[in-house]
Amino acid sequence: MSQVTNISSPEFLRVTLVQTDIYWEDIPANLAHLEEKLAQLTGQTDLIILPEMFSTGFTMTPENVAEPLNLVTTRWMRQMALGTNAMILGSYVAREGTHFYNRLLAVYPDGTYVYYDKRHLFRMGGENEVYTPGKERVTLEWRGFKIRPYICYDLRFPVWSRNKIDAPYDLLVYVANWPSSRDVVWETLLRARAIENLAYVAGANRIGIDGNNVTYIGNSQIIDFKGQLLGKLTDKDEILTIALSKAALENFRTKFPAHLDADPFEILG
């Protein structure tokens, strides 16, 4: 099922959240399942956001499924970006030498890509014991918008997500495998990040039960710079597309320039 609002326009960025169940540690099955979903989005969106570890589920046995760059998942994302004429975001299990990363890949329709490695590793699930944390933030530029992508547990850390005058963004993206037991936290923090950063926020979560018997109920959503809900999915296998207005964002920042009074800071380490 798909929910779509607004039409193609140079004044808007059409953002699509793909909320789905994930076959446990089965890359071919997940890519085939998602390919069928993404086919319907051709020409209908500008940015497609997939959940965290969309090709495997949130696994703590990366040695079973990890891939280097430019292998199966990267090539698949390139094919999907080209076919839909949209940027595609999603994280997968990456390997570099002896290190594993929870790596978000952002692929443009022309095949170029940028990646972000998750900085805050979920120690309560043992992620910090098997994955290497990232050190750099990434800002993407796409169709008039500046986009800052993050991964799941990063949502809890406002300093890492903080918008800055000298390096601003317009849209925060969080791809996630966020459990139903902490659903209230998910919704609360997404709104908080939008309000404090004067930016749109998009959170793409999964549904279903994973290989560790953890339950997910989705609640993927898009929020505006005032903290107002623009669109939300429930616990179904669904797709949501919302068109975001850059002009509306800039007008609000002009009328309510709270960002000009933000405290300066630097992140060390």
Residues labelled catalytic = 52, 118, 152
Give the Cα separation of 24 and 209 in Å (integer): 9
Query: Which residues, 6+ apart, have CB-to-CB distance to 28 below 8 Å?
Result: none
Query: Which residues, 6+ apart, have CB-to-CB distance to 115 below 8 Å?
Result: 69, 94, 103, 104, 105, 106, 138
Contact yes or no for 262/245 (Cβ under 8 A):
no
Contact yes or no for 34/56 (Cβ under 8 A):
no
| Concatenated DSSP letters of 127-193 | HHHHSPPP-----EEETTEEEEEEEGGGGG-HHHH--BTTB--SEEEEE----GGGHHHHHHHHHHH
Pull the structure tokens for residue 2. 């798909």
Q: Tally helices (H) and strands (E) across the chain.
A: 6, 15
Classify 39 as helix, strand or coil: helix
Contact yes or no for 87/13 (Cβ under 8 A):
no
Give the Cα separation of 200 and 245 in Å (integer): 10
